[in-house]
Amino acid sequence: MNVQALSNIAAQVRRDIVRMVHQSQSGHPGGSLGCTDYFVALYFQIMKRNPTFTMDGIGEDLFFLSNGHISPVWYSVLARAGYFPVSELATFRKLNSRLQGHPTTHEHLPGVRIASGSLGQGLSVAIGAAHAKKLNKDPQLVFSLHGDGELQEGQIWEAAMFAAHNKVDNLISTVDYNGQQIDGPTEKVLSLGNLHAKWEAFGWDVMEINGNDMQAVVNGLEEAKSRTGKGKPVMILMHTNMGHGVDFMMGTHKWHGAAPNDEQLAAALAQLISTEKDY
């Protein structure tokens, strides 16, 4: 798929995100919009995926979302990639839905392999799944995504240490490096310091990419794939704008977990061209 086609899907996914969050008047649009290009590139270009979903995912690449609150972007991309009907996006955060506020396996939503939401747990899960792939002699890769604020959780660094020590080199983890968290900029809440140096010091192969340029995301993920199998886990520090694609939501923590009203929805949709049909 070429970059223009991927960008078109991303525009539709961004529409889905703001419409879903508006419809339920809850959810997390900021990080979802910031990571849209990554998700679209991953599912429509980068990952080798089996045609039908199975929990064990033998013979295909796996993805784990650790910062589960950006579920809107994942749900939209999973639906657009064919895991479940696009119409189901309308049930997001509603009673009796498979699209829970944070992703779960409890309602058996195809595409989701573990619950996430309570932060800091997904890297360990991804490492476990990557280790299982090696035991199974399955050459496919494991991808995981994490928030930058999430790196304040201690479990992340337990996992980071394990992955380097045990040469988990079939894993590509990405940090959504937008510098924002609920209470404000990460620099003010709890500074992450020099993340590049930290991950390198923990023994990871570290890259930095622009997460809001589709070509850069595709190239970055391809580059990351080429770095697997070389004895180190791969970390992508992905610089994004929280709220990317909707001008008034960009670059502020205020849209981390807030829903647009009717006027704001209209203003947002005016900036996002529908490329596939709205759900």
Q: What residue ranges bind another protein (CB under 8 A)?
A: 55-58, 62, 64, 104-106, 113-118, 120-133, 135-136, 138, 154-155, 158-159, 161-162, 165-166
Tokens of 51: 């045609």
Q: Are 93 and 27 in contact (CB under 8 A)?
A: yes
Closer residue to another protein in complex, CB, 84/162? 162
Closer residue to another protein in complex, CB, 114/207? 114
Closer residue to another protein in complex, CB, 68/220? 68
Q: How far is the CB of 58 from another protein (least distance, A)?
A: 7
Distance CA 129, CA 17 (A): 28
Q: How far is the CB of 47 from another protein (least distance, A)?
A: 15
Distance CA 215, CA 210 (A): 9
Q: Cα dihedral sign for 213, 216, 222, 224? A: negative
Residues with Cβ within 8 Å of residue 200, at least 6 apart in sequence: 206
Q: How far is the CB of 152 from another protein (least distance, A)?
A: 14
Half-sphere exposure of 25 (CA within 13 A, CB side): 2
Closer residue to another protein in complex, CB, 113/244? 113
Q: How far is the CB of 1 from another protein (least distance, A)?
A: 27
Distance CA 130, CA 133 (A): 5
DSSP alpha helices (H): ranges in 25-70?
29-34, 36-41
Q: How far is the CB of 51 from another protein (least distance, A)?
A: 19
Q: How far is the CB of 117 from another protein (least distance, A)?
A: 7
- How far is C-alpha 161 from the geometric centre of its chain's CA atoms? 22
Closer residue to another protein in complex, CB, 15/133? 133
Pairing label, strands 180-181, 184-185 = antiparallel
Tell me the three state secondary structure of residue 185: strand
Amino acid at the residue 58: I
Q: How far is the CB of 128 from another protein (least distance, A)?
A: 2
Q: Are 154 and 120 in contact (CB under 8 A)?
A: yes
- In DSSP terms, 145 is beta-bridged to 65, 174
Closer residue to another protein in complex, CB, 87/96? 96
Closer residue to another protein in complex, CB, 5/132? 132
